[in-house]
Amino acid sequence: MINESFACYAKYEPWLKLKMQEFNQMGYHQINEEDLWKYVTNFCWKRIKPAHYYQQINDIMRITPNQYLDFAALEAQVYKVTSLEEMDFDDLF
């Protein structure tokens, strides 16, 4: 499963890099390729993945910072932390 996921990721890596560069130009420097891949696989393609490669690329290229940040905020709210010691506060400062 991991090798299959890696092969799939490698197929989309150039497009994820391009989208990450676009976000960096807009001032969103914390968003990386892995974050975008997680958004695409866990949200965009959660129920159904487009059949054609060009449709999948179109999904990646249409991602806006607002869409990704909404996903990240929802993920942060759902993520359960049992104690404050487990939280990483360094990124907040």
Give a yes or no: residue 20 inside a domain. yes
Reduced to 3 states, what is the DSSP secondary structure of residue 22?
Answer: helix
pTM for this entry? 0.75
Give a yes or no: residue 46 inside a domain. yes
DSSP 29-49: TT--HHHHHHHIIIIITSS--
- Structurally, the chain folds into a number of domains equal to 1
Note down the domain range covering 43. Answer: 1-65
Give a yes or no: residue 38 inside a domain. yes
Give a yes or no: residue 13 inside a domain. yes
Give a yes or no: residue 17 inside a domain. yes
Per-position pLDDT tens, the chain of length 93 = 344 566 788 899 999 999 999 999 999 999 999 999 999 998 999 999 999 999 999 999 999 999 999 999 988 888 765 566 666 666 655
